[in-house]
């Protein structure tokens, strides 16, 4: 896994890009959960959203080794 990615001469930490990808995925998942009213099953919405984001971030970082 590369730790720094070069984007048009600007070095960006790879973790920053993976955080953006995980945030977009979690935003889509949040909309899906709101549409089907699944938040009524969750005790603490903000904590649940944060946990989902962390799980998605871990998955994206894990899969990034296979994509590069």
pLDDT in tens, 8-24: 999 999 899 999 999 99
Q: What is the pLDDT of residue 22?
A: 97
pLDDT in tens, 15-50: 999 999 999 999 999 999 999 999 999 999 999 999
Q: What is the pLDDT of residue 47?
A: 98
What b/e readout covers 1-21, taking b as 16+ CB neighbours within 10 angstroms?
eeeeeeeeeeeeeeeeebbeb
Q: What is the pLDDT of residue 4?
A: 87
């Amino acid at each position: 896994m590369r730790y720094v990615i070069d984007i048009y001469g600007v070095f960006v930490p790879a973790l920053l890009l993976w955080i953006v990808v995980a945030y977009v995925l979690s935003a889509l998942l949040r909309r899906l959960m709101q549409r089907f009213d699944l938040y009524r099953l969750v005790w603490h919405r903000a904590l649940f959203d944060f946990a989902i984001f962390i799980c998605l971030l871990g998955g994206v970082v894990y899969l990034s080794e296979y994509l590069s």
